[in-house]
Amino acid sequence: MPVKTAVVAIGGNSLITAKDKREVKYQWDAVRETCGHIANMIREGWRVLITHGNGPQVGFILRRSELAAHEVHTTPLDLISADTQGSIGYMVQQALRNSLRTMGISQHVITIVTQTVVSKSDPAWQSPDKPIGGYLTDAEAENFRKEGWNVVDDAGRGLRRVIASPEPREIVELDAIKLALQNEYVVIAVGGGGIPVVRNPRGELRGVYAVIDKDRASSLVASGISADLFLISTGVEKVMLNYNKPDQRALDRVTLSEARHYLEQGHFARGSMLPKIQAVIRFLEKGGPMALITDPPNIVRALNGETGTWFVPG
């Protein structure tokens, strides 16, 4: 039987589960739990590429840099993105390899620091809307506004800074990712959506001050490697219509046309489920065979058809 390949996009809940559990020791606890569930998936025979978010971690490093600016030079955002790809990749590598070893599976896990090409003419530069860093008090938000930041309410969950989030166009290290997967490595890549870069007139890559939506970039790489499954692991077991309303309804199986319809009806919140549904739609539109949204503890159950929200072309 041919080996099936899945892109597993893990969200911020896989590292930071609560506002009072942001310290690294709690992040280790969370990533070990998530990797235990992914290890079960690998044991079931899946070849896996893992992508991950990095929003809170980028915010922590950015703020440390700002607070220490009177002592040492600040760190540009593209290097912060690279830093988090390395640190989170290390955590996932170690936790997943330990889980696999416990299961008697000898398989290497590697992280590929990934660049994602964006366009200099993308309209997103004129309309910053991507949250960065943690949630802010009213006083903190006002201070950042005075410093020139855009601060918005993030899907009703609190105030956060926002910056430009241009569309991902190309995964620079795509061929390396394919080669590693073909050689039976579990790969961690496109962390935080990838480091945003543009090409200068000579064709050279240069980092830019932006962030890329992790789900959009994950959809792009899933299409790029012709994945059999695009799995978004998030904080809910199933996608809901009319979320948190009396007529809330869980979705089990959704066709591409139905997903587009629900999107047009405004069922999904910006900064929450909306980018995930958009990413799934893009994957299916490019020929992807199926996608799944569920939470980490239910990954294997969902793969067995017992839960989760499945998306299919039609």
53 domain residue, yes or no = yes
Please indicate whether residue 298 or residue 269 has the higher confidence score (pLDDT). Answer: 298
E strand or H helix that includes residue 62: helix 55-67
145 domain residue, yes or no = no
Give the pLDDT of residue 92.
Answer: 97
140 domain residue, yes or no = no
CA distance 119 to 57: 25
143 domain residue, yes or no = no
CA distance 225 to 241: 31
Give the pLDDT of residue 197.
Answer: 98
pLDDT tens digits, one per residue of 193-205: 999 999 999 999 9
pLDDT tens digits, one per residue of 260-273: 999 999 999 887 89
Q: Is the pLDDT of residue 208 over 90?
A: yes
Q: Is residue 230 classed as helix, strand or coil in its secondary structure?
A: strand
Active site residue 130: yes
Active site residue 214: yes
For residues 269-284, average pLDDT = 92
Give the pLDDT of residue 243.
Answer: 84
219 domain residue, yes or no = yes
Q: Is the pLDDT of residue 1 over 70?
A: no
Of the candidates 13, 40, 98, 150, the residue annotated as catalytic is: 13
200 domain residue, yes or no = yes
Query: Which percentage of the chain shows pLDDT scores above 90?
Result: 73
Please work out, in degrees rounded to the nearest 5, the angle formed at the alpha carbon of residue 187 by the alpha carbons of 92 and 289: 115
Active site residue 178: no
pLDDT tens digits, one per residue of 17-49: 777 888 889 999 999 999 999 999 999 999 999
pLDDT tens digits, one per residue of 156-199: 888 988 899 999 999 999 999 999 999 999 999 999 999 999 99
Domain that holds residue 41: 5-115+169-312
Query: Which percentage of the chain shows pLDDT scores above 70?
Result: 98
Give the confidence band of 62 by pLDDT, cuts at 50, 70, 90: confident
Q: Is the pLDDT of residue 66 over 90?
A: no
Exposure string of 92-113, with b = 16+ CB inside 10 Å and e = fewer, is bbebbbebbeeeeeebebebbb
Give the pLDDT of residue 51.
Answer: 98
Active site residue 25: no
304 domain residue, yes or no = yes
pTM (global) more than 0.85: yes
Of the candidates 214, 271, 288, 308, the residue annotated as catalytic is: 214
Give the pLDDT of residue 11.
Answer: 84
Give the pLDDT of residue 302.
Answer: 96
Give the pLDDT of residue 13.
Answer: 62
Of the candidates 134, 194, 276, 298, the residue annotated as catalytic is: 276
Of the candidates 12, 158, 207, 224, the residue annotated as catalytic is: 12
Give the pLDDT of residue 15.
Answer: 79
Structural domains counted in the chain: 1
pLDDT tens digits, one per residue of 85-105: 999 999 999 999 999 999 999
Report the chain's mean pLDDT, rounded to a whole number: 93
CATH code at position 12? 3.40.1160.10
Highest mean pLDDT out of 2-11, 124-133, 212-221, 234-243: 212-221
Active site residue 194: no
Of the candidates 53, 59, 130, 133, the residue annotated as catalytic is: 130
305 domain residue, yes or no = yes
Give the pLDDT of residue 288.
Answer: 98
CA distance 190 to 116: 8
User: First vs last Cα of the chain: how many Å apart?
Assistant: 25
pLDDT tens digits, one per residue of 228-256: 999 999 989 999 998 888 888 999 999 99
